[in-house]
A = this chain, B = another copy of it.
């Protein structure tokens, strides 16, 4: 083991990640700046660059930490029937993401979760294969479910954001200006739109997908 030399570190990657989680939990991802984070760990913004390459790497670190730490369903408790297993895993995935919706913005890329979140695609693809799908179709089934889940989380996050920063004036204006002749259905539901869109429809969509995608 080589002798450790030089100045002993004041902060660690783990400190940074912990502080970043706290900032996000308290004030949202938008508040997570290098300067704010530095203040939180009792250091300077520039010191952070000794532990992470840039902000993107920090976010990836954060993501992975979250995925690894989040409780997932016990393998034995998953239903044996393939379709039900996909529903169970996807529901768990959505639940994990719902706790930190900013994740979807960070890693919407490439249809993949972080390294720590690979359990979900693994299990969904595995169940799809068990249901009799060829590998190609199993992967595409997973991607379709992922797109649906990411879209739902994104919409929820955006709606929550709007709600937090004052009334959703835009939607109200849309319905106020609505031409009832051109858009009779929307005019009809207009008054109930807020109530209806507050409902959780994830499961309904998920089951429709699973029924349509798995043989």
Binding site for B on A (CB under 8 A): 60, 104, 108-112, 114-115, 118-119, 121-122, 125-126, 129, 135-136, 138-140, 143-144, 146-152, 154-155, 158-159, 161-162, 168, 170-171, 174, 177-178, 182-186, 188-189, 192-193, 196-197, 199, 201, 204-205, 207-209, 211-213
CB pair A196 B139 closer than 8 Å: yes
B residues within 8 A CB of A207? 212
Contact A143 B197, beta carbon cutoff 8 Å? yes
Residues of B within 8 A of A168 (CB): 109-110
B170 touches A129 (CB 8 A): no
Would you call A186 and B122 a contact (CB within 8 A)? yes
Find the B residue at minimum CB distance from A56. Answer: B170
A209 to B206, CA, bound (A): 8
Query: Which residues from B are CB-within-8-Å of A129?
Result: 185
A-B complex: 3 closest residue pairs judged by Cβ atoms:
A208-B212, A151-B151, A144-B205
Cα A211 to Cα B207 in complex, Å, equals 11
Q: When the two chains form their complex, are residues B197 and A110 in contact, meaning their CB atoms are under 8 A apart?
A: yes
List of B residues within 8 angstroms of A143 by Cβ: 155, 197, 201
- Inter-chain contact A108/B154, CB cutoff 8 Å: yes
**Cα A152 to Cα B155 with chains together (Å):** 13
From residue A209, how far is it (CB to closest CB) to chain B in Å? Answer: 5
| Complex-state Cα separation, A146 to B196, whole angstroms | 14
Query: Which residues on the B side are within 8 Å of A201 (C-beta)?
Result: 140, 143-144
